[in-house]
Amino acid sequence: MSTNSTLVALQFIDLHLPLSLTPSTGREPYVCPLQTCGVSVEATQYSVMSTRGRAPGAGKSLCTRPTWFHVICNSVDPLESPMLTLARIEESNSTDMNQGRNELVYLDHAATTAVHPKVLEAMIPLFSDYFYNASSMYGPAQECRQGMEAARLSVANALSCKPSEVIFTSGGTESDNAAIKGAAIALQDHGNHIITSSIEHHAVLHTCHALEKIGFEVTYLPVDRDGQLDPVGLERAITKRTTVVSIMLANNEVGTIQPVAEIADLIKTKSKQLGTQIVFHTDAVQGASYLDLDVNKLCVDALSLSAHKFNGPKGSGILYLRRATPFEPQQVGGSHERDRRAGTENVAGIVGLAQALSLAIDNRSSNRQHVLNLRDKLIHGIRERIPHAHLNGHEADRLPNNVNFSFEGTDSQWTLMALDEARIAASTGSACRTASLDPSHVLVALGVPADIAIGTLRMTLGPENTAEEIDYVLDTLPGIVDNIRRPKQTLQNQS
């Protein structure tokens, strides 16, 4: 077999294979000692990319950026090796892509948001001058408690509920866990059946999985190709043993909004017919900045929020729990939060959360319209410039800041890293499952084929994004997609 050399991108696909790469200094070659493929790899840059960040047996962490190599094959054609994904990319595209742009275009607001300056200003004194434990009895500590209770009142006004119905938590994950487990365990003498959807955040799904291990039964309802739940299907799933229903307000990956108020009405009607009590919870984490969170309009018994999704601090969340809702505390060890959530109160985080939620509501209308205009511009531009691009989620009933596309013939890991080189931050979906190589469970539930789902890109906008930034993305993304597709098309033509 003749020796050949080509510029390729090297990616590990099956990390259970006996792979190891040892980076050398200078321009000495990297050596890939595969039993079935003798390949000498001369690096033109000096990092190695593993999709999980570490090659088995290598003992050293590897860089997460892509690396372009000259691959010299002496025994086997690397293009025929199932262990490697090889993509020809022009060097100019990998090295000069971000020249002239220093500022990051941040399109991952569904993952987290920056703390608003007014929020930070409200929090800073609580780290120094007012650092006291709000449960202590002396004067300065009670001033901290007063600040915390003022924050609780502010949150209650935002949700149109009573202050006593607001429980402060560490974030959305804890709130989801507490709501579902707390209600299910409190009502377990009346039933052990839980209903949720197949596209919930893992904070809900994994909570349900944990409850299944201790004897609870869970029904995971399907959704249509747009990600919407059929309320009639939910009604049919309710039995006399059903005690908890948890349906998210808006999906974190594809942005589809569920008819929560309609579902709540259906549940209450069915529960009355059966003579049972059903607690209805909604994960509203993605909705605070753009959707109405009036719990009386939504008709929910429990609702989860996380501050860092609406320009508040990380580590601070809300569980709204309607008065008289059955609930067994899941975090014990103190009488905090009216005996519903033990632990020293994070006063700074609570005050910051309340300030951020107030700002989000005050600016909701203008921010919604702003991001809606940018979202529609981005969706239209992608459809116009990139063939075989599929929008995931409902066309109309979706979050105003969510854009989720699957690009045929691409791998989202490569797309993200090329965008990163171009100073554009996006994601494949939930930040809580970034390390997973499996297709998103949300896309699987929508019926997106696996070979298309792996090419999915989520871009979520925020108030600070501009039309100029969207133009830059639309000028950059088509070339990236084309470069990733080109080698696959070449290989298909050769086969």
Average pLDDT over residues 466-489: 92
Per residue, what are the HEC states of the chain? CCCEEEEEEEEECCCCCCCCCCCCCCCCCEEEEECCEEEEEEECCCCCCCCCCECCCCCCECCCCCCEEEEEECCCCHHHCCCEEECCCCHHHHHCCCCCCCCCEECECCCCCCCCHHHHHHHHHHHCCCCCCCCCCCHHHHHHHHHHHHHHHHHHHHHCCCHHHEEEECCHHHHHHHHHHHHHHHCCCCCCEEEEECCCCHHHHHHHHHHHCCCCEEEEECECCCCCECHHHHHHHCCCCEEEEECCCECCCCCEECCHHHHHHHHHHHHHHHCCCCEEEEECCCCCCCCCCCHHHHCCCEEEEEHHHCCCCCCCEEEEECCCCCCCCCCCCCCHHHHCCCCCCCHHHHHHHHHHHHHHHHCHHHHHHHHHHHHHHHHHHHHHHCCCEEECCCCCCECCCEEEEEECCCCHHHHHHHHHHCCEECECCCHHHCCCCCCCHHHHHCCCCHHHHCCEEEEECCCCCCHHHHHHHHHHHHHHHHHHHHHHHHHHHHC
* Cα–Cα distance measured from residue 342 to residue 169, given in angstroms and rounded to the nearest whole number: 10
What's the confidence (pLDDT) of residue 59? 33
Instruction: Assess whether pLDDT exceeds 60 at residue 99.
Output: no
At residue 439 the predicted structure's pLDDT band, cuts being 50, 70 and 90, is confident
* CA–CA distance, 96 with 115 (Å, rounded to integer): 32
What is the arithmetic mean of pLDDT over 94-108? 71
More reliable by pLDDT, 334 or 486:
334
CA distance 94 to 98: 9
Segment 179-217, tens digit of pLDDT: 999 999 999 999 999 999 999 999 999 999 999 999 999
Where residue 430 falls among pLDDT bands split at 50, 70, 90? low
Domains, the chain, with CATH or none: 4-86 (no CATH), 117-362 (3.40.640.10), 364-489 (3.90.1150.10)
pLDDT of residue 445: 97
For residue 475, pLDDT beyond 60: yes
Q: What is the pLDDT of residue 438?
A: 75
What local confidence, expressed as pLDDT, does residue 204 receive? 98
Whether 58 shows a pLDDT value over 80: the answer reads no
Q: What is the pLDDT of residue 492?
A: 56
Answer yes or no: is pLDDT of 6 > 60.
Answer: no
Confidence of residue 488 (pLDDT cuts 50, 70, 90): low
Identified catalytic residue from 73, 208, 299, 432: 432
Least confident interval from 45-59, 85-99, 268-282: 45-59
Tell me the percentage of the chain whose pLDDT exceeds 90: 74
Residue 117, pLDDT above cutoff 90: yes
User: What pLDDT was estimated at residue 338?
Assistant: 86
432 noted as active-site residue? yes
More reliable by pLDDT, 373 or 334: 373
Encoded amino acid at 90, one letter? E
Sheet holding 84-86, edge to edge: 30-34, 37-43, 68-73, 4-12, 84-86
Query: Higher pLDDT residue, 385 or 431?
Result: 385
Mean pLDDT of 354-364: 98
The pTM of the full predicted model, rounded to 2 decimals, is: 0.82
What is the arithmetic mean of pLDDT over 284-303? Answer: 98
